[in-house]
Amino acid sequence: MSRSIDLRSDTVTLPTDAMRRAMAEAEVGDDVYGEDPTVRRLEELGAEMVGKEAALFVPTGTMGNQVAVMTHTRRGEEVILEADSHIFFYEVGGLAALSGVQARTVPGRRGAMDPGQVEAAVREDNIHFPRTALVCLENTHNRSGGTVVPLENMAAVADVARRHGAAVHLDGARIFNAATALGVPPSKVAAPADSVMFALSKGLAAPVGSLVAGRREWVERARKNRKLLGGGMRQVGVLAAAGIVALTSMVGRLAEDHANARRLGEGIASIPGLAVDLETVQTNMVSFEVNKPGLTALELVARMGEQGVKANATGSSRIRLVTHKDVSAADVDETLRVLRRLLA
């Protein structure tokens, strides 16, 4: 067996040679003093791409989201989020632990909340109630299998928030996948939101880093909250340099990942004992059910691993596969051969 095919996540992508060169040659300074020219360039470029005034470089998407929540809210306020959203589901209770805010979840359909249900969840002015300070959106939606939330839905939910004086944050970890699938610039996806977080370290293959973007004054307050969380970094242009390569040279190829996910999804749909809703295969993920009696998702993942294919179980009978720049069309075909053998 040669190298393994790693379909666990697009976070496993390795930095490109161009990134490593840019990192080695990066001009740097102390970024807490605002003196790292490479970080500044990355922040300006990122802000421009998502159509916001300014941006802040953060080590992780999780810190980016948490800094955003902290900057939009005060302790005791309420945040409306989709029930399966990353911020609610996968960020270690950071809303409560770091910002002291309370979560109000609304169920979604493939990540999209119903604007009427969001409106019903907004608190009216009452001495007993917390204030609804923030509504969070997510696009693409991770736990729904990388589905794209329609722009009209985002706009309608953001409109509800705005009418009630709440801010809107977009968890756009994979905003470039959403933009690619929709055929629009990322600024269009981010437009309904006051702030947006997006990852450099997922499909764009930078080794580390995300950006949080919004209005200039808001980003300066977010910068202080990043410092509070211990995220003030020094000569971090060595990392920002890879982020610049990610934004300038890795966005265009995401369509290839989407085509590979489609090929994978269609192949899986034809394998007895596996079931996939092809309508959910919209970007670089395939989420499928294992329907063979006696075979759990964990067992199938273990057997795939023995055959050189790494995957993640996301439920007792559900497996998620993620395509990315280190997975080729040939790797997809090999994965399908392995699955056909294991399900035979």
- Binding site residues, ligand PLP, CB under 6 A: 60-62, 65, 86, 138, 142, 171, 173, 199, 201, 210
Least distance CB 250 / ligand PLP (angstroms): 16
Using DSSP, state whether 320 is helix, strand or coil.
Answer: strand
User: Residue 61 or 192: which CB sits closer to ligand PLP?
Assistant: 61
Closest CA to 335 of 58, 5, 112: 5
Q: Beta strand pairing status for 210-214 and 54-58?
A: antiparallel
Least distance CB 31 / ligand PLP (angstroms): 19
Which residue's C-beta sits nearest to ligand PLP? 61
User: Residue 322 or 332: which CB sits closer to ligand PLP?
Assistant: 322
Question: Distance of alpha carbon 190 from its chain centroid, rounded?
Answer: 13
User: Residue 22 or 173: which CB sits closer to ligand PLP?
Assistant: 173
Using DSSP, state whether 227 is helix, strand or coil.
Answer: helix
Helix axes 216-228, 61-72, angle to 10 degrees: 110
In order, the DSSP letters of 166-200 are: -EEEEE-TTHHHHHHHHTS-HHHHHTT-SEEEEES
User: Residue 174 or 262: which CB sits closer to ligand PLP?
Assistant: 174
Q: Which tokens belong to 144?
A: 């729904």
User: Residue 122 or 137: which CB sits closer to ligand PLP?
Assistant: 137
How far apart (Å, rounded) are the C-alpha atoms in residues 259 and 216?
A: 37
User: Residue 157 or 342: which CB sits closer to ligand PLP?
Assistant: 157
User: Residue 8 or 123: which CB sits closer to ligand PLP?
Assistant: 8
Using DSSP, state whether 209 is helix, strand or coil.
Answer: coil
Least distance CB 61 / ligand PLP (angstroms): 2
Least distance CB 65 / ligand PLP (angstroms): 6
Least distance CB 64 / ligand PLP (angstroms): 7
Phi, psi of 224 (to 5 degrees): -70, -40
Least distance CB 6 / ligand PLP (angstroms): 16
Q: Which tokens belong to 30?
A: 């102390």
3-state helix, strand, coil in the chain (%, to 5): 45, 20, 35
Least distance CB 303 / ligand PLP (angstroms): 26
